[in-house]
Structure 1
Amino acid sequence: MTAEGIMTVEARLRRYGLRPTRQRIALADLLFAKGDRHLTVEELHEEAVTANVPVSLATVYNTLHQFTEAGLIRVLAVESAKTYFDTNVSDHHHFFIEGENEVLDIPVSNISISNLPEPPEGMEISHVDVVIRLRPKSR
């Protein structure tokens, strides 16, 4: 287990420069309790409601974006209508199962990317996201 894995949620938030408010701690507990995963604002809000955490959808949205800006999670844009938040911030890629709206990790070692274009002047590539879309085989 990594040092971050045994770190309390409060300490983890502080490490990333976030003030550990009651709502941030509650949402981070829900977000990271099940290991690496991908979820939408609506899915985390539903988990919060089920766990009797009194937060609005707007608060969940704002908190996830604060976590993203701090580097605690990352955004994965798979569809234009939905944004997924990924608790695994390491370099890796994704399968997206169409029709089921499920996102699965692909280890980075399974994909090789070469010949990336030169970024514009003054810019650098922060990371490359590969999303491979899957659907059931047609007969």
Structure 2
Amino acid sequence: MTKTQFVKRITHPDYGELYQFFELDEATREETLLDPFDAGLLLMAVEEEGLPEILAITSKRGADATGYYAGEQFVVHKGSKFAASTTAKCPKKYVKLREKLILEGLLIPLHNQLFLMEDYEFESVRSAMGTVIGGWAKGPHGWKGKKTT
């Protein structure tokens, strides 16, 4: 019994363009909706010895991202989730950067969040934070060491 995994792009009346993940049973032609994280389709980066410290940020508005310092820049990992909307006080440069990432297909809407499709290097930790949370970022204090289990 062969199963194939695939993605469908749909248009939601409230949230716009979204992506759904499915598994197709070749024998029955039955499609099953998948959670991309539970199915192992989308994996967060694994911290290994010798790599930079992995930092994480979450917000009440849905952001859940990880990243690390790369010299003066800050890299946010593929699979990170950005807040779906911005606050009224979000600086225009963060709004424009989010729009650019969406237009380039690097941020896609998924379950009331924006999903980062590739690692992305920001000019600073502050711009990474503001773009991820969709709001004002006073500094790097929002990024915390990632807890290991």
TM-score w.r.t. length of structure 2: 0.25
Higher strand fraction: Structure 1 or Structure 2?
A: 2
Counting helix residues as a fraction of each chain, which structure ranks higher?
1
TM-score by length of 1: 0.26
